[in-house]
Amino acid sequence: MKKLILFLVVQFSFSLASIPAYAAMKHQGMIMDEKGMVMNDNTDNLPKDCPEVSEDVHFTIHAGREHANKFSGKMYAFDQQQWDVKPCSRIKITFINDDEIRHQFMVHGLPGYLYPQGMFHIELYGKGQKEGSFIVPSQPKTYLVHCEVPQHMEKGMKGQIKVAGGDLDLPSIPGLTEPVTPDSYAVNWTPESWAMLAFATVVGFAIPLVILKRREKKQAN
């Protein structure tokens, strides 16, 4: 009898192990699984100043190192840096991480009575994608979008959402606005570096001349 019970327990355990796990944890506005997290997803609750949703918009946004290649001195970026919407728009975000490291799409400044801490947030722990939605109020405003992983915003992962044209342009958005602190790539000009520059200049002029003279000699012969 004991052997039969043990056999049944083992069979049941193997049966459970063969069932795929699709569980996700949801609490305090966060939906989390092994791939990432969506925080403060909202498709139905309207801001106080919106009688109804004015329009539905859908943005697919990529994040990763390859999208920073077009910006000097940047390491990470979104593939877009600005998104324009109408007042009271319902915005659906499909966030795609093209890297093997964590990236976030985080919006700040939303009304706290709908979005705790004024945030909407999608995070991916590596390559993959997640979706989430939020509804913006009616007043013209510019909302900060960034990745809050340390140094990712400073290295280029920053953008802005403008509702009804926005109320300002945020600084330090790659390709859009001037940086608060411009990158500096100053060269320490020592006597040795000046000598190397002079040598490289002379060689750069001399090599084409030598090649031309050799061609002239061959043609003369």
Domains and CATH numbers, the chain: 23-163 (2.60.40.420)
Tell me the two tokens of residue 116: 């705790």
pLDDT tops 70 at residue 3: no
- 177 close to 163: Cβ distance less than 8 angstroms: no
What does the pLDDT read at residue 58?
98
Question: Which of 42, 52, 28 shows the shortest CA–CA distance to 110?
Answer: 42
Tell me the two tokens of residue 95: 């966030």
Sign of CA dihedral 89, 92, 97, 103: positive
- 139 close to 168: Cβ distance less than 8 angstroms: no
pTM listed for this prediction? 0.74
Distance CA(144)–CA(164), nearest Å, equals 15
Q: Which residues of 131-167 are buried (b: 16+ CB within 10 A; e: fewer)?
A: ebbbbbbbeebbbebbbbbeebbebbbbbbbbbbebe
Distance CA(42)–CA(40), nearest Å, equals 6
- 101 close to 14: Cβ distance less than 8 angstroms: no
Residue 43: count of CB within 10 angstroms of its CB? 12
Residue 182: count of CB within 10 angstroms of its CB? 9
Q: Would you place residue 220 in the very low, low, confident or very high pLDDT band (cuts 50, 70, 90)?
A: confident
Q: What is the mean pLDDT of the chain?
A: 89
Q: Which residues of 10-21 are buried (b: 16+ CB within 10 A; e: fewer)?
A: eeeeeeeeeeee
What does the pLDDT read at residue 44?
96
Rounded average pLDDT over 168-188:
87
C-alpha R_g of the chain:
28
pLDDT tops 50 at residue 21: no
Pairing of β 55-64 and β 89-97? parallel
